[in-house]
């Protein structure tokens, strides 16, 4: 090992110790020495450089020198994005640190973008009860709760639509259906303004709203929304796509509740056909659909037989 790397190890270890002792100025001095050596002996995209940039960024942030912290975090992020897998936890951490910094600098749009990137990685690589997930949910929740984007974005900005949809999902999971409905409707109104009429994201919000209206027993509204969703998906997706099976199942269930047996049967059959072609977890359970479909067939046979008996009795 060269003397340079010996000094790097010493400066870094001492920096960590002083940081833990809350002697931040001494820690800063040692981290800076470590950084200066690393910048001379390593390639500009070496991961160890990213680590020291992150450590220094944390220190400058704690010392309220946010511009210096921002410069260092950005350097760290640029290296990690170059050398790490896109779902690496270290990337999530630097996205979170940058998000916090931009949040503090009142650059809320940038903060949201970075928090979302962090959340997406953590949801992919961590257990659902991991503390780091709780932290990023809290960071995002604070942004959403303060409704900051309603102040800084145009009323039809796509970011607002995404926020309203996420809030709708949250309230739905909390079984607060009226609040969920309010945010889903806000999301829909924006998307209908800014997207093409056959955009898949419109289909998603129509389906979300349809589910909610169905649960609120407003079946005519649910039907209208499910039909809109179906029409888009049939236009933009392959004919065997799993999302088609799902909307056919939703519509079948709704027509079933409206006692429109023939329409329900037709949709259940379409769903069953897709499920049997593509037996995987993305499709509604094929055995359930099979049973629904067969039940509808039997009911229709009974209805037809009854009609036949009525006509015979009338004839005589």
- Residue 159 scores a pLDDT above 90: no
Q: Of 13-17, 214-218, 262-266, 285-289, where does mean pLDDT reach its minimum?
A: 285-289
| Residue-level pLDDT at 4 | 64
What angle in degrees, to the nearest 10, is found between the helix axes of 131-145 and 158-173?
A: 120
Separation between Cα atoms, residue 203 and residue 139, nearest integer Å: 29
Does pLDDT of 290 surpass 60? no
Instruction: Tell me how long the chain is.
Output: 316
What tokens does 68 get?
């210096």
Comparing C-alpha atoms, which of 229, 238, 251, 248 is closest to residue 286? Answer: 248
How deeply is 21 buried, as exposed, middle or buried, from its count of CB atoms within 10 A (0-12, 13-18, 19+)?
exposed
Q: How many Å apart are CA 158 and CA 166, to the nearest integer?
A: 13
Helix axes 219-236, 200-215, angle to 10 degrees: 160
State how far the Cα of 197 lies from the Cα of 201, in Å rounded to an integer: 10
pTM (global) more than 0.85? no
Q: Tell me: the pLDDT tens digits for 232-286?
A: 999 999 988 888 989 999 999 999 899 998 898 899 888 888 877 766 544 444 4
CB neighbour list of residue 235: distance below 8 Å, 6 or more residues apart:
198
> Among the residues of 42-130, which ranges form H helices?
47-62, 66-83, 89-104, 108-125
In 3D, which of 258, 233, 257 has the Cα closest to residue 247? 233
């Amino acid at each position: 090992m060269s003397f340079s790397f010996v000094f790097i190890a010493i400066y870094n270890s001492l920096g960590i110790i002083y940081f833990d002792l809350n002697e931040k100025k001494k820690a800063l001095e040692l981290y800076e020495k470590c950084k200066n050596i690393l910048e001379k002996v390593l390639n500009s995209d070496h991961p160890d450089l990213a680590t020291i940039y992150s450590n220094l960024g944390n220190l400058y942030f704690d010392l309220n020198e946010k511009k210096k912290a921002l410069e260092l975090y950005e350097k760290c992020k640029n290296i990690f994005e170059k050398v790490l897998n896109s779902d690496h936890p270290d990337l999530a951490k630097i996205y979170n640190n940058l998000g916090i910094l931009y949040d503090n600098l009142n650059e809320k749009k940038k903060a949201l973008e970075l928090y979302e990137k962090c959340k997406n990685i953590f949801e992919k690589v961590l257990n659902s009860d991991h503390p780091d997930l709780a932290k990023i949910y809290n960071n995002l929740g604070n942004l959403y709760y303060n409704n900051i984007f309603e102040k800084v974005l145009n009323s039809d900005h796509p970011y607002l639509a995404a926020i309203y949809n996420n809030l709708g999902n949250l309230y739905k999971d909390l079984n607060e259906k009226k609040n969920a409905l309010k945010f889903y409707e806000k999301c829909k109104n924006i998307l209908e303004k800014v997207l093409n009429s056959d955009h898949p994201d419109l289909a998603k919000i129509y389906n979300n709203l349809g589910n909610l209206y169905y649960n609120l027993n407003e079946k005519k509204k649910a039907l209208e929304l499910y039909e809109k969703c179906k029409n888009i998906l049939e236009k933009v997706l392959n004919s065997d796509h799993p999302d088609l099976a799902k909307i056919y199942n939703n519509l079948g269930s709704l027509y079933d509740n409206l006692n429109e047996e023939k329409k329900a049967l037709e949709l259940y059959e379409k769903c069953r056909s897709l499920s049997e072609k593509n037996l995987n977890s993305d499709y509604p359970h094929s055995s359930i659909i099979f049973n629904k479909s067969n039940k509808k067939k039997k009911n229709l046979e009974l209805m037809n037989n009854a009609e036949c008996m009525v006509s015979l009795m009338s004839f005589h």
